[in-house]
Structure 1
Amino acid sequence: MQITFTSFPSQSGLRSAYASATKHATEDDEDAYMDVEPFDDFESDSSRLTCPGETLTSAQSFMRGHGTYVDNDDVISSVAGTVERVNKLITVRALRTRYNPEVGDLVIGRITEVQPRRWKVDANSRQDAVLMLSSVNLPGGVQRRKLESDELQMRNFFEEGDLLVAEVQAFFSDGAMSLHTRSLKYGKLRNGQLVTVPPILVRRLKSHFFSLPSGVDLILGLNGYIWVSKHVKESEREGEEGFDAEAVYSNRNDDIDDATRTAIARVTNIIRILAAHSVPLTDVVLLEAYEWAVEQDADVKGLLQEDVSDALVAAVTSG
């Protein structure tokens, strides 16, 4: 009978071997992590821009969301837009896309069709919105019941081609927006000019109505439609019975002096310049841009020159 003795490493030797293996594994993980593009840009609140085909990060560390795809263990952007991160989910919001509505959003639209007891409205979304006759203010009191005579006079309130500002009230079963104009702030738009920008550039604010010192009113529609118009006092819309129906539903523009016309044209050009450079539009940004244009004494056409527009964008985004 032969007995064989096997020597085992001491307890201290086991600890040393375990520490060495752990060290090498940690170093390997760190090397692998260093190969992944750092995510410092995604830790901040500000989103960064990306273009199609750009590698964002490793698919092993993060999950792909809308606007991205996976190729060779990399998360790659499929559209041009802003990169957003929620925990481990990476998504890209496209710069050029249709408006995705939410209840409570303020939108600007154009009447496309008059139907029985409703209007169809183009709101820059995937399908036309609907404005019901029961969701508008009518002469004789805001809360009164709608009659057959009101249905016969629907074109006196809104007709094809009219612009209006409204609020998203709900959604129908097919996904279409249901709008309402029951507030005196909403209704038909006059005395101004419409500017169209990508909806992603219009941020949600406490109020989307504000005025510039030059006597110009601005309405920032979340659907990418912006209305620039002559300043109108609230008292001018109010009548003996709550509001002046003639002023609210009139199709005629008021007389606008040359100085106001120039101010409206200057503001519209400023909006176009900022949108062309993908600058998010807020009341603060637009006010700073307008004050810069006034200080530089830039005329309406001069703003569109490349050097002037670049200087305007640099002045607004420098802060």
Structure 2
Amino acid sequence: MISFASFPSTSEGSGSYTNTRHHPKIEEDEVGMDLDEDDFEEGTQRLTVPGESITSSHAFMRGHGTFVDDEEVIASVAGTVERVNKLITVRAVRSRYNPEVGDLVVGRITEVQPRRWKVDANSRQDAVLMLSSVNLPGGVQRRKLESDELQMRTFFEEGDLLVAEVQAFFADGAMSLHTRSLRYGKLRNGQLVTVPPILIRRLKSHFVALPCGVDLILGLNGYIWVSKHVKESEQEGEEGFDAEAVYSNKNDSIDDATRIAVSRVSNIIKVLAAHFVPLTDTILLEAYEWVVEQEGNVKDLLSDEFGETMVASLGLVPISLLTDVMHTGGF
């Protein structure tokens, strides 16, 4: 027979956790948010620290990153508070990517196994791309044969980058990916930029085309692909697709102007990530236009002074309070 023992409440314990300790940089009036219905506005960022009371458990439901104590929803991690209807969650500032079905991710092939590929998707464990979850040459939807398994390295091999969608999860929690769309597949003609996953906001479309001739793929796992612009007519054909182009390992010829634009956008992303500014298509476009107006060198973008000036000029709001506290060892 299994018996359950109840733990004493914080008031009955030693008292070491009865009072919440906060970093000196957090003002006293910021402790205890007590959120109301109208406290969440689009685009606003609310910060919290472990042990901080967010709201009443009667008004909202607790989600990931929170727990309930004495009818109060308390934050269990340091991060940003997010609300979906009556559900309150805290998204940790420093954490691995937590995947959900339908997420768009950018990954790198790490291993070729029988009828599957292992993919590094910046998660707690490698994702899996099954042979049955990719498009075959010619766009024919048919059952994969033994001959297809023998040619797996002609599709993807170790080191290849790809964009895919989270399809499901295995029993051990590993992601199952698929590339059964002409927008998904192997990535070429660009470079990879890595940022903290918390900076990638969920958008209507994570495929962004900037007017400077640069395409962006904002992976929700924190991997961003910056490449030259490809017209839709080149991506999709009337009859299937060109297998040589989709699974080719050779980059197309890229002119100098496009190379400079790709480098400039990549450096802008690195600067915004260094200042912990959330990345959206609107913010990236505004930042690019501002940088072009400055007529500076591409390398100058990575200087600390230039980055601070750009963030201040555009009026961007970085998640700076928590990062400062964490860097000083407040937690």
TM bucket normalised to smaller: 0.7 to 0.9
2:309 equivalent to 1:311? yes
Contact 1:36–1:58 (Cα < 8 Å) also in 2? no
2:124 to 121, 126, 144: 126
Q: How does 1:47-126 map to 2 (within 5 A)?
A: 47-51=45-49, 55-56=52-53, 66-67=64-65, 79-84=77-82, 91-126=89-124
Specify the code of the residue in structure 1 equivalent to 2:187. L
Specify the code of the residue in structure 2 equivalent to 1:282. T
Aligned to 1:207: 205
Unaligned runs of 5+ in 1: 1-33
Residues 37 and 144 of structure 1: is their aligned pair in 2 closer, same or farther, counting only changes over 3 Å? Answer: closer
2:196 equivalent to 1:216? no
- CA shift digits 1:189-222 (9 cap, x unpaired): 0111101111111111111112111111100001
Aligned to 1:152: 150
Q: 1:79 deviation in Å?
A: 3.8
Contact 2:34–2:56 (Cα < 8 Å) also in 1? no
Secondary structure of 1:100 counterpart: coil
Aligned to 1:269: 267
In the comparison of the two structures, how many residue pairs are matched?
Answer: 285
Q: 1:290 deviation in Å?
A: 0.6
2:247 equivalent to 1:249? yes
1:233 to 225, 231, 234: 231
Unaligned runs of 5+ in 2: 1-28, 318-331
Q: How does 1:21-32 map to 2 (within 5 A)?
A: none
* Structure of larger gyration radius: 1
Instruction: Give the Cα separation in 2 of the matches to 1:288 and 1:115.
Output: 44
2:293 equivalent to 1:295? yes
Instruction: Give the Cα separation in 1 of the matches to 2:145 and 2:33.
Output: 64
Aligned to 1:179: 177
User: TM-score, normalised to structure 1's length?
Assistant: 0.79
2:135 equivalent to 1:137? yes
Secondary structure of 1:219 counterpart: strand
Q: Quote the RMSD (CA, aligned, Å).
A: 3.0
> Which range moves more in the overlay, 303-312 or 237-246?
237-246
Residues 89 and 274 of structure 1: is their aligned pair in 2 closer, same or farther, counting only changes over 3 Å? Answer: same
2:53 equivalent to 1:44? no
Secondary structure of 1:211 counterpart: strand
Q: 1:86 deviation in Å?
A: 6.9
Residues 85 and 167 of structure 1: is their aligned pair in 2 closer, same or farther, counting only changes over 3 Å? Answer: closer
Instruction: Give the Cα separation in 2 of the matches to 1:317 and 1:206.
Output: 24
Instruction: Give the Cα separation in 2 of the matches to 1:221 and 1:196.
Output: 10
- CA shift digits 1:255-309 (9 cap, x unpaired): 2122111111111111111112221111111111111111111221211222221
Residues 131 and 300 of structure 1: is their aligned pair in 2 closer, same or farther, counting only changes over 3 Å? Answer: same
Q: 1:83 deviation in Å?
A: 2.7
Instruction: Give the Cα separation in 2 of the matches to 1:65 and 1:135.
Output: 32
Instruction: Give the Cα separation in 2 of the matches to 1:206 and 1:307.
Output: 33
Instruction: Give the Cα separation in 2 of the matches to 1:35 and 1:163.
Output: 43
The structure showing larger relative contact order (alpha-carbon pairs under 8 Å, at least 6 residues apart) is: 2
Residues 73 and 245 of structure 1: is their aligned pair in 2 closer, same or farther, counting only changes over 3 Å? Answer: closer
Q: 1:241 deviation in Å?
A: 3.7
Contact 2:106–2:221 (Cα < 8 Å) also in 1? yes
% identical aligned pairs = 77
